[in-house]
């Protein structure tokens, strides 16, 4: 059957993380079994508020060392805004991990479900977000935070766009577009941030010349938000810098039905991490009402990434089963509150596990 067994890290994180991450592990176990692949070996690792309590830091060295040895991992959300100082002022856990492992590509699909509650039905787009620089000052430096306060009343940050990082993310976007509808939209703000986002736009267009089958257009970030709300179903692949991508993907997730259904994967050429697009949702944590779909589908993306890397047909089948089981569960009317349903987080996950045997 499959070519290898997989060791995957599990980091529950904060807020709704301890609810949606175990739900995803259960679904993956069921899908892998249904696909006839070998069981996944899970390795739980400390992260977030509980790691501050147990290890004195949100991302312990032992967690980074362990992640170095596994095939990939599921990262729960973190509520770093609620950490005590000095932890709150440090680079947050997902930023730390993305930076440590050079996970430069954040791939964020937004796809409406049949029978779901999309604002724009038919939405099926992917945001390809550059993950290492741009206007996220806390991760675009080798050392230091990229922000400073010369006086208590003056705050300065810098943004960075490089040709190398833009070329790298552009290739990701064009390769992805070739496997889809062959259209790439560049989102920038080159009428104001002429040099930085202008460089981003121009370099993506240059790289696009190597992909003559892909059509390219571009929008300013403000116009892109309008077009997303009006006609999200007309987009295919959107490529953009770090902060624009973060904001746009929350919007795209909601337009497709709920932020709670928007998955994502963070990858380099050699590593991948599944991470829902949304945050830790502290307002609904501990109530078993969160939507686990984003985390479940992020985990399926990780399986697909591993399957492609290892040419593992059984694992591709497992990823197909996860996605089909989620589709089936929603189509049969089982959804959580954010999708206007009544299922609990754990109840929804149980329904998906059951559905894996009917795919
Ligand atoms: P971050 O900056 O860490 O991404 P955020 O400020 O964008 O976090 P979220 O934690 O993503 O905020 O929450 C935004 C809103 O979406 C909240 O009302 C939250 O309850 C809701 N939400 C987020 N994820 C889910 C989910 N999985 N299921 C249901 N509701 C969710």
Q: What is the mean pLDDT of residues 239-260?
A: 94
User: How does the average pLDDT of the chain come out, rounded?
Assistant: 95
In a domain, 261, yes or no: no
Q: Which atom of ligand 1 is nearest to the CA of 293?
A: 27
Q: What is the mean pLDDT of residues 8-17?
A: 98
pLDDT of 79: 95
- Asked if residue 333 and residue 209 are part of one domain, the reply reads no
Nearest residue (by CA) to ligand 1, atom 27, is 260
Q: What is the mean pLDDT of residues 211-228?
A: 97
- Asked if residue 284 and residue 337 are part of one domain, the reply reads yes
In a domain, 109, yes or no: no
- Asked if residue 199 and residue 285 are part of one domain, the reply reads no
- Asked if residue 347 and residue 306 are part of one domain, the reply reads yes
List ligand 1's pocket residues with C-beta within 6 A.
16, 77, 250, 259-260, 278-281, 283-284, 290-291, 294, 338
Q: From the CA of 201, how far away is ligand 1's center (Å)? A: 30
How confident is the model over 107-124, as pLDDT tens digits?
A: 999 999 987 789 999 999
What percentage of the chain has pLDDT greater than the value 70? 99
Phi, psi of 127 (to 5 degrees): -95, 125
71, 315 contact by CB (below 8 A): no
| Residues 272, 275: Cα–Cα separation, whole Å | 10
pLDDT of 141: 84
**End of a domain among 256, 290, 314?**
256
Q: Is the pLDDT of residue 140 over 90?
A: no
Q: What is the mean pLDDT of residues 226-247?
A: 96
Q: Is 182 a catalytic residue?
A: no
Q: What is the CATH number of the domain that holds 42?
A: 3.40.718.10
- The catalytically annotated residue of 14, 189, 211, 312 is 189
pLDDT band at 2 (very low <50, low <70, confident <90, very high): very low
Domain extent at residue 206: 118-256
Q: From the CA of 176, how far away is ligand 1's center (Å)? A: 27
Contacts of 356 (CB under 8 A, 6+ apart): 27, 30, 31, 33, 34, 321, 322, 325
pLDDT of 143: 83
pLDDT of 3: 58
What percentage of the chain has pLDDT greater than the value 90? 92
Q: Which atom of ligand 1 is nearest to the CA of 15?
A: 10
274, 167 contact by CB (below 8 A): no
Which of 131-145, 211-225, 289-303 shows the lowest per-residue confidence on average (mean pLDDT)?
Answer: 131-145
Q: Is the pLDDT of residue 204 over 90?
A: yes
SS3 assignment, position 298: helix
How many domains, the chain?
Answer: 2
In a domain, 179, yes or no: yes
Q: From the CA of 11, how far away is ligand 1's center (Å)? A: 18
Q: Report how far apart, in Å, the C-alpha atoms of 312 and of each of 108, 172, 306, 307 are.
A: 23, 21, 8, 5
**End of a domain among 201, 229, 256?**
256
Question: Cβ of 348: how many Cβ atoms within 10 Å?
Answer: 28
- Asked if residue 250 and residue 281 are part of one domain, the reply reads no
In a domain, 87, yes or no: yes
Q: Is 68 a catalytic residue?
A: no
| Residues 334, 101: Cα–Cα separation, whole Å | 37
Q: Is 246 a catalytic residue?
A: yes
- The catalytically annotated residue of 14, 79, 250, 312 is 250
- Asked if residue 359 and residue 246 are part of one domain, the reply reads no
In a domain, 107, yes or no: no
- Asked if residue 11 and residue 141 are part of one domain, the reply reads no
Q: Is 7 a catalytic residue?
A: no
**End of a domain among 230, 256, 282?**
256
In a domain, 180, yes or no: yes
| Residues 312, 293: Cα–Cα separation, whole Å | 24
Q: What is the mean pLDDT of residues 339-346?
A: 96
* pTM for the full predicted model: 0.93
- The catalytically annotated residue of 6, 83, 136, 211 is 136
- Asked if residue 128 and residue 29 are part of one domain, the reply reads no
Q: Which atom of ligand 1 is nearest to the CA of 81?
A: 3
- Asked if residue 326 and residue 289 are part of one domain, the reply reads yes
In a domain, 112, yes or no: no
Q: Shortest CA distance to 267 belongs to which of 73, 93, 8, 32? A: 73
Q: What is the mean pLDDT of residues 121-139?
A: 93
Number of helices (H), then strands (E), belonging to the chain: the values are 11, 12
Q: What is the mean pLDDT of residues 213-221?
A: 98
Q: Shortest CA distance to 240 belongs to which of 232, 252, 248? A: 248
- Asked if residue 164 and residue 243 are part of one domain, the reply reads yes
| Residues 142, 112: Cα–Cα separation, whole Å | 39
Stretch (H or E) spanning 44: strand 41-44
- Asked if residue 22 and residue 138 are part of one domain, the reply reads no
In a domain, 1, yes or no: yes
Q: What is the mean pLDDT of residues 137-161?
A: 90
Q: Shortest CA distance to 76 belongs to which of 117, 125, 19? A: 19
How confident is the model over 298-338, as pLDDT tens digits?
A: 999 999 999 999 999 999 999 999 999 999 999 999 999 99
Q: Is 309 a catalytic residue?
A: no
Q: Which atom of ligand 1 is nearest to the CA of 278?
A: 11
| Residues 148, 122: Cα–Cα separation, whole Å | 44
Tokens 């959580």 map to which residue? 336
Q: Shortest CA distance to 128 belongs to which of 28, 231, 207? A: 207
């Amino acid at each position: 059957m499959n070519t290898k067994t997989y060791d995957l890290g599990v980091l529950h994180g904060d807020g709704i993380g301890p609810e949606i991450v175990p739900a995803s592990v259960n679904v993956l176990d069921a899908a892998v079994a249904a696909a006839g692949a070998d069981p996944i070996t899970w390795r739980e690792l400390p992260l977030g508020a509980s790691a501050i309590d147990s290890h004195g830091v949100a991302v312990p060295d032992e967690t980074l060392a362990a992640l170095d040895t596994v095939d990939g991992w599921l990262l729960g959300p973190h509520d770093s805004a609620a950490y005590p100082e000095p932890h709150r002022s440090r680079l947050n856990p997902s930023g730390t991990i993305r930076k440590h492992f050079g996970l430069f590509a954040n791939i964020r699909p937004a796809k409406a479900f049949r029978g779901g509650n999309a604002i724009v039905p038919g939405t099926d787009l992917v945001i390809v977000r550059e993950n290492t620089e741009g206007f996220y000052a806390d991760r675009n430096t080798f050392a230091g935070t990229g922000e400073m306060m010369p006086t208590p009343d003056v705050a300065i940050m810098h943004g960075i766009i490089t040709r190398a990082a833009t070329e790298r993310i552009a290739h990701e976007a064009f390769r992805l577009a070739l496997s889809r509808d062959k259209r790439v939209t560049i989102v920038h703000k080159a009428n104001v941030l002429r040099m930085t986002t202008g460089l981003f736009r121009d370099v993506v267009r240059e790289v696009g010349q190597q992909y003559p089958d892909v059509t390219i257009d571009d929008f300013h970030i403000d116009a892109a938000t309008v077009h997303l709300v009006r006609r999200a179903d007309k987009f295919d692949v959107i490529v953009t810098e770090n902060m624009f991508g973060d904001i746009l993907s929350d919007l795209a997730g909601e337009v497709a039905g709920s932020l709670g259904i928007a998955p994502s994967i963070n990858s380099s050429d050699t590593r991948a991490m599944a991470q829902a697009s949304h945050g830790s949702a502290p307002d609904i944590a501990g109530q078993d009402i969160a939507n686990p779909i984003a985390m479940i589908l992020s985990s399926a993306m990780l399986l697909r990434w591993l399957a492609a890397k290892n040419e593992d047909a059984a694992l591709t089948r497992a990823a197909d089963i996860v996605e089909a089981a989620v589709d089936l569960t929603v189509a049969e009317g089982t959804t959580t509150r954010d999708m206007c349903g009544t299922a609990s987080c754990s109840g929804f996950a149980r329904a998906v596990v059951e559905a894996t045997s009917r795919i």
